[in-house]
């Protein structure tokens, strides 16, 4: 009989400022720059939190298709979002004793992080294209497929890994629920299919005059 162990603890603290430098309401397009800073040695060693920091500058983009002609109205609720970034660890490798009592070296390559998400908004279809009579609560659903990949760029990082995650999001007035399958693209990405659940709260709706208020507002 195999005994399974459980580990708990906080991962490293992450800070992610974001700057939106382009927006087109007419073409439903937005472009943003993001810098993620994972602060090393702020998490628990019980969950293998890294002792070094990692910087990840990235470009984010989003495109809705509401600007399509009316004869393609069924495609207007489609939207695609994506991200392209590079992880820059502040440490290149670590050498330590393994379980066999031998020294082993673990390398930390620079990594290209890239991904896409394709979604179809039923609320947008009902409110902005044509009310096709989808009843509640189904009229608040957004079917989607997310694709997340990592490609090592150096230091013998190996092959591209990632997952394809089909699922659905339900949008409420102050929160949203999500459920996705997590399907590895190859053996290096994992074995078997997982499940990912999400619960997001809209702070701007729950606390519009405090936590949900923008730090910087347009004049």
pLDDT at 43: 87
- Specify the DSSP class assigned to residue 28: T
> How does DSSP assign 79-92, residue by residue?
EEEEEEEEEEES--
pLDDT along the chain (219 residues), means of 10: 65 93 95 95 83 94 94 94 96 73 79 96 92 90 96 88 96 93 94 92 85 69
Q: How many CA atoms lie within 13 A of 27 on its CB side?
A: 9
Q: Using one digit for the tens of pLDDT, what is the confidence trace for 96-135?
A: 666 677 777 778 899 999 999 999 999 999 998 998 889 9
> How does DSSP assign 94-117, residue by residue?
EEEE-TTS-EEEEE---EEEEEEE
Domains of the chain: 14-206 (2.40.160)
What is the chain's Cα-based Rg?
A: 21
Is the overall model pTM greater than 0.75, yes or no?
A: yes
pLDDT at 98: 66
Secondary structure class of 33 (helix, strand, coil)? strand
**Phi, psi dihedrals of residue 128, rounded to the nearest 5°:** -115, -15
């Amino acid at each position: 009989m195999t005994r399974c162990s459980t580990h708990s603890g906080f991962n490293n603290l992450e800070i992610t400022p974001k700057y939106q430098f382009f927006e087109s309401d007419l073409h439903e397009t937005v472009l943003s720059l993001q810098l993620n800073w994972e602060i090393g040695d702020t998490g628990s060693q019980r969950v293998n939190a890294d002792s070094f920091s990692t910087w990840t500058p990235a470009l984010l983009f989003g495109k809705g298709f509401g600007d399509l002609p009316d004869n393609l109205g069924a495609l207007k609720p489609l939207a695609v979002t994506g991200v392209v970034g590079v992880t820059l660890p502040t440490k290149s490798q670590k050498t330590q004793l393994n379980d066999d009592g031998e020294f082993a070296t673990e390398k930390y390559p620079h990594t290209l992080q890239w991904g896409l998400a394709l979604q179809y908004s039923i609320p947008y279809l009902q409110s902005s294209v044509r009310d096709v009579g989808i009843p509640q609560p189904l009229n608040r659903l957004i079917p989607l497929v997310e694709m997340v990949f990592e490609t090592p760029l150096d230091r013998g990082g190996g092959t591209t890994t990632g997952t394809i995650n089909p699922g659905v999001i339900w949008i409420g007035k102050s929160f949203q629920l999500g459920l996705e399958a997590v399907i590895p693209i190859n053996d290096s990405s994992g074995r078997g299919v997982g499940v990912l659940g999400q619960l997001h709260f809209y702070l701007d709706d729950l606390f519009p005059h405090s936590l949900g208020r923008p730090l910087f507002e347009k004049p």
